[in-house]
Structure 1
């Protein structure tokens, strides 16, 4: 149980970080790499938001699991 809790926490943190990165690129705040097709595309704001929320939900579930 301890390993699954830790893996869920790590996966949630990675998903939240990636989601925030995609939001930043979709809005145009993050312009790296400069040739990215995601920059300024508002579809990626929606996809990033869903991914970040899913990551945060995974973190909350992992925190509520028994130790």
Structure 2
């Protein structure tokens, strides 16, 4: 996977994870996920994975 793609996918995962966390906490309504504890747990895990991908992509780019 190229570094740019890794960074973009990582950013997307951070945004999706934050959205899921907000829905799970009940801060963002209008979904079946709103107020569900599962998404309040899954969201930060996905966001952390995304941050790891971004960091990995940036590290690999700077190593060149």
Superposition TM-score, scaled by structure 2 size: 0.90
Stretches of structure 2 lacking an aligned partner (at least 5 in a row): none
Aligned counterpart, 1:18:
16
Stretches of structure 1 lacking an aligned partner (at least 5 in a row): none
Aligned length: 62
Aligned counterpart, 2:4:
6
Could you list the structure 1 runs, at least 4 aligned residues long, displaced by more than 2 angstroms after superposition.
none
1:1-67 matches, within 5 Å, as 4-31=2-29, 34=30, 36-65=31-60, 66-67=63-64
Mapped to 2, the partners of 1:58 and 1:17 lie a distance apart of 13
Local SS of the residue matching 1:62: helix
Residue 28 of structure 1: CA displacement?
0.6
Residue 37 of structure 1: CA displacement?
1.1
